Chains A and B, each alone.
Chain A
Amino acid sequence: MNFCLVGLSYKTAPVEVRERLAIPEERLPEALHSVVSLPGIAEAVILSTCNRVEVFARAEFNEANAPLALGDFMASFHGLDYHDIVQYLYHYRQREAIRHIFRVASSLDSMVIGEAQILGQVKDAYARARAAGTLAGVLDEVMTRSFAVAKRVRTETGIASSAVSISYAAVELARKIFGTLEGKHILVIGAGKMSELAAKHLINSGASNILVTNRTPERAEEMAVMLHGRAVPFEKLLEYAAKCDIVISSTGAPGFIIRKPDAQRLLSERRNRPMFFIDIAVPRDIDPAINSLDNIFLYDIDDLQKVVDANLKERLREAQRGEEIAEQELEKLVRRLKTLDVVPTIVELQGHLEQIRMQEMARLQSQFGHLTEQQRAAIDMLTKGMVNKILHAPVSHLKHLAQEPDGLKVVETVRKIFNLKE
């Protein structure tokens, strides 16, 4: 187990440095090949995203200068000097390297904890390394394991369950009020990027029947076409609002366009079915006093931001559990890697057969009483020769196969058929 990971991320390097050192997709095969052609490096995978550039490699032997070699590669690949970038680099070895890749894949090391993109990027990096033929053994196993860890963290913790953008927070709140958004009606008042985004998210979550209104009817038409909704006249706003469960407002109006008496009338018209108002406008479009009404929920832009902040904190708490899972999985993998290391297996295999030989020798002796020294030596040589001949092919195959993808499975099989204990 000689893993080494060298890299830089948003935590250690500013964006100018990250973009300088990023390895573009089309140059990845070239980069991968030059890493594995470094002395002592057997396998490599390169992860290059806008937030991090990392080279994860396995050395043949316990190469002490692997971090240096990898760091030097990162600099020279872009025509830079190692000393210019060394301040931005971090490196991990052995189990720390595995832990790091587990944390990265599980989005525990991400800028926005729990974001879903990173796992796809790690999988991509893996696929490219495999295509380039630079994954040929244990590193392959580590990478695939990291996907499983990420999946476990995602499903067993709430790390990715709450919204961390304003428009998603609106959708999440709508879900907390209505349960399902299936069949819910939405009214979008005024135009704007943010309200459009929120409306789109709501539609994607199952809301149907979008009504759009604007002081300028043409703009309303435009947006209605975009959202596959229907434009309604601005003067009849309240009339239509009564039919809608969710109202998103972002007009440039200087005063309130929906006041408390309006909301009260809406409620009685709707027979108290709940309404969710999202007021993205500044200055605000909807009188904040309506939030005190039963069955009405009003969130303005600051409120949504507060929810996002709380969600981020919640994610951090959940991340703690994610770390525990990553640690458990790390422990499991390291133990497995150790037991499946080819050298101990070979030693045990030899020991196992030697033991059988000795037992049989002892039995023979007890059966035939005393043998002459010469006879014993002959039998000894004969049996030793047999054992060695039998072992020769499996041992050389083991040494060879362990370096290949799925090598671990071969080692496992050998251990199983010879009944070697873990």
Chain B
Amino acid sequence: MTNLWLWVSLGLYSLGLLHAILTVITRREKMFRIGLAALSLGIVFHLVALVEDGLAVAHFPITTPAEAASLVGFVLAGAFLFVYWRYQYQSLSVFVFPLVFVLTLTGAVGQGGDATWGSPLLRTAWVYIHVCLIILGYTAFFLTFAAGVMYLIQEHELKSKTPRAFYYRLPPLEVIDDLAYKSLAIGFPFITLGIITGAVWASTVWGPRWPLDPKVALSLVSWFIYLSLLFTRWSAGWRGRKAAYFAIAGFAVILVTWGTNTGMHSFVSP
């Protein structure tokens, strides 16, 4: 079935996308208020769409890649509103608004596909919890990634000593760093629990010798990157440029992980 509300929220998100594009092109804040209002309204319709979807398929709607994308878009939009409320800096919108749009677009275009979790084997509470935790963790890590990029730009502006447009628009370094750290600290437990729930579920199905598919391997790589990022921060106060590079690298691995859907993560029954 197609969900009208999802298209409505997509339309609203497109205003946010427009804001991001204009802001990047002109290097000057353009229609942020409109984009923010549209995002706030869009998220309400998005929630309605998610609930309707969930009722229609009689389970939590994360069983197709499209549904998962739509959910991530929703969580990300919510996370942005929370961060904006806390920090009152708007530069993050340039990263978040387009991604929210693309994710929701993926969700809207791909909706109506068959629930590919055909096997009842996959429909256990563990899987839902596993996917939700991973999605929350990824959203937080996206914010870490965006903060990392902003940090590198602002740091470059400050070191080069010839301030350009970015210098005037981006938040202070410490604020960016704070955002990067907090989102990392929030995202890490989610991902860790997500991986644990995945492992628990896998062992209930395959026993102690469950297969190691590429997705699992890659997510373990990103988990180790984030772990070392957190650990070095606690032990040696690691921050700044190198930490930003690490956060970006970690997210790159996550992106590959997200795209790798083979083995037991191939959205079809094993």
A-side residues, CB < 8 A to B, are 158, 161-162, 173, 175-179, 270-274, 291-292, 294-295, 297, 299, 303, 306-307, 310-311, 314
Contacts and interface: CB of A to CB of B under 8 A. Distances in A.
B161 A271 contact: no
A272 B172 CA distance: 17
Contacts of B159: 291-292, 297
A264 to B, nearest CB: 13
B212 interface: no
Interface stretch (B42-50, B52-60, B163-171, B183-191): B163-171
B173 interface: yes
Nearest to A271: B237
B236 A272 contact: yes
B130 to A, nearest CB: 36
B241 interface: yes
Interface in B141-186: 154, 158-159, 161-164, 167-168, 171-175, 178
Contacts of A310: 162-164, 167
Nearest to A303: B161
Contacts of A311: 163
Contacts of A173: 158
Contact of A307 (B161, B236, B240): B161
What are the 3 closest A-B residue pairs judged by CB atoms, nearest first?
Answer: A271-B237, A179-B172, A272-B237
A178 B162 contact: no
B174 A295 contact: no
B239 interface: yes
A294 B164 CA distance: 21
A291 B155 CA distance: 11
Report the contact-size class of chain B (Cβ under 8 Å from the partner).
Answer: 20 to 34
Nearest to B238: A272
Contact of B240 (A175, A272, A299, A314): A272
A297 B107 CA distance: 45
30 contacts: A161-B168, A162-B168, A173-B158, A175-B172, A176-B154, A176-B172, A176-B173, A177-B172, A177-B173, A179-B171, A179-B178, A270-B237, A271-B236, A271-B237, A272-B236, A272-B237, A272-B239, A273-B239, A274-B174, A274-B240, A292-B159, A294-B240, A294-B241, A294-B242, A295-B240, A297-B159, A307-B163, A310-B162, A310-B167, A314-B168
B240 A306 contact: no
Contacts of A299: 161
Given A272-B240, A295-B240, A314-B168, A179 B174 contact: yes
- Chain B's interface: helix, strand, loop or mixed, by majority? helix
Contacts of A162: 168
Nearest to B170: A176
A314 B163 CA distance: 10
Contacts of A179: 171-175, 178
Contacts of B242: 294
B165 to A, nearest CB: 8
Choose among A178, A294, A297, A299 the residue with the greatest number of B CB atoms under 10 Å from its CB: A294
A362 B208 CA distance: 103
- Scoring B163, B171, B175 by chain A CB atoms within 10 A of each residue's CB, the highest score goes to B163
Contacts of B237: 270-273
Interface string B230-270: 00000011111110000000000000000000000000000
A295 B239 contact: yes
Contacts of B154: 176
A304 B211 CA distance: 60
B150 to A, nearest CB: 12
Given A176-B158, A271-B236, A294-B242, 4 more contacts: A158-B168, A176-B167, A272-B239, A310-B164
A211 to B, nearest CB: 21
A207 to B, nearest CB: 14
A306 B175 CA distance: 24
Contact of A178 (B174, B236, B238): B174
A175 B170 CA distance: 12
A175 B167 CA distance: 12
A112 to B, nearest CB: 18
Interface centre among B178, B237, B238, B241, by most A CB within 10 Å? B237
A297 B158 contact: yes
Contacts of B172: 175-179
Contacts of B164: 310
B173 A274 contact: yes
Contacts of B238: 272
Tell me which of A179, A292, A310, A311 has the highest count of chain B C-beta atoms within 10 A of its own C-beta.
A179
Nearest to B177: A274
Contacts of B167: 176, 310
Contacts of B158: 173, 176-177, 297
A102 to B, nearest CB: 23
A295 B236 CA distance: 13
Contacts of B236: 271-272
Most buried by A among B174, B236, B239: B174
A398 B262 CA distance: 85
Contacts of A178: 172-174
A306 B162 contact: yes
A176 B171 CA distance: 7
Of the candidates B161, B168, B175, the one having the most CB atoms from chain A within 10 angstroms of its own CB is B161
